[in-house]
Amino acid sequence: MRIVMAGASGFLGTRLAERLRHSGHDIVRLVRRPSERPDEATWDPAQGRLDTAVLAGADAVINLSGANVGDRRWTAAYKRVLRSSRIDTTDTLARAISKLPDADRPRTLLQSSGVGWYGDTGDQAVTEEAPAGNTFLADLCRVWEAAARPAEDAGARVVLLRTAPTIDASGSLIKPLLLPFKLGAGARIGGGRQWMAWIALTDWLAAAEFLLGRDDVAGPVNLVSPKPVTNAEFTRDMARVLRRPALLAVPGPVLDLVIGELAGEAQRSQRVLPGVLSNAGFEWAYPDMVDALAAALRPQPAVTG
C-alpha cells in the first residue's frame, strides 16, 4: 500500500511508520517544513493547506496528529493548542480527501481519537455504542471525530481509533512513573477504585495494522485491552513488576494542586471494552496488565560489537 501519514514523528506515529515499512508498505510523511526527502510532503494544517495531489492514488491516510494531553497544565492557551492540533489537521485531511475524484481518492482513513470520548463511566463497562461524556476531553473527541466527516461523506472508509494510554517504558503513562516506583514511592490515586482503559504498545501497533487491512470495519474502534484494571490494581502490578513497595496514596486535592484540571481526568473511571476488535477476531499479545508491564519494562540486552 501507499500510505500518507500525518503525525509520523510522534510517539505512536514513529513506531507505526516503522512497522508498516517493515511490512512492505510505502509511507509518505506529511511535514510542516519544506520537504527534504522523496517520502515527505509539505502541508500547513493551521491554514488548511494540502495539495490534493499528495493524496491522489494513495491507498490509505493515517492521521495521528495532536498535542500531548498530559504534557502540561491545561491552561486556556494549552486547551486551544489541544483543540487546534487535532481539528485543523483532521479537517484539512478530510476535506482534501473529499475533493478528489473517486478513482484517485484513498479508500481508507485511520483517524486518531481517544477513550476520553466516554467521560467518566464509573463501574459501567462501555463499548463503541456508548455516547460521548460531558468532560473537556469528551467534547474534544466529539468535535475531533466530527472533523473527519467530509472524508466519510465522500465515500472513504473512516476508522476512528479511540486510543487508550499505551503501556511502554518510554510512553507518557509509564515513563514519568518509573523513578517514583523504583524509589518505593509508587502511589495509587485517591482510593484507587477508578477504572483505567489501557493497551500495550505492541497491541496498539498490531491493531492499527489489522484495521488498515479490514475493509469491513469502519466507525469508532476502541484500541484498549479487553481487561481494564482499577488504579489500585495498576499500582500493585507496577510495583510487582519492579519489585518495589507501593503503599502510598495521592489524595485528589493534592493532585488538583499539582497539575490542575488535568487531575480530574486522572481520577475519572473509564471501564472501556474493545467491542469492535473482539468481534473482528483481533488477538491481543498482552491482554493482562502485569504481562504488558513485564514486557515493557524488561531490561534490554546490551548492544555489543
Q: What is the pLDDT of residues 86-99, one digit of tens each?
A: 999 999 999 999 99
**CA gap 215, 223 in Å, rounded:** 17
Task: Assign residue 117 the CATH number of its domain.
Answer: 3.40.50.720
Rounded to an integer, the average pLDDT of 54-69 is: 96
The range of the structural domain enclosing residue 112 comes to 2-296
Report yes or no on 41 lying in a domain.
Answer: yes
Q: Give the N- to C-terminal CA distance of the chain in Å, as an integer.
A: 36
Report yes or no on 112 lying in a domain.
Answer: yes
What does the pLDDT read at residue 73?
85
Report yes or no on 228 lying in a domain.
Answer: yes
**CA gap 145, 114 in Å, rounded:** 10
Report yes or no on 302 lying in a domain.
Answer: no
Report yes or no on 305 lying in a domain.
Answer: no
**Residue 263 pLDDT level (bands cut at 50, 70, 90):** low
Report yes or no on 10 lying in a domain.
Answer: yes
Q: What predicted TM-score, i.e. pTM, was given to this entire model?
A: 0.94
Written as nine digits, the cell of 55 is: 493524496
Report yes or no on 303 lying in a domain.
Answer: no
Report yes or no on 31 lying in a domain.
Answer: yes
| Number of structural domains found in the chain | 1
Written as nine digits, the cell of 270 is: 473509564
* Residue 155: C-alpha distances to residues 107, 115, 186 (Å): 8, 25, 49
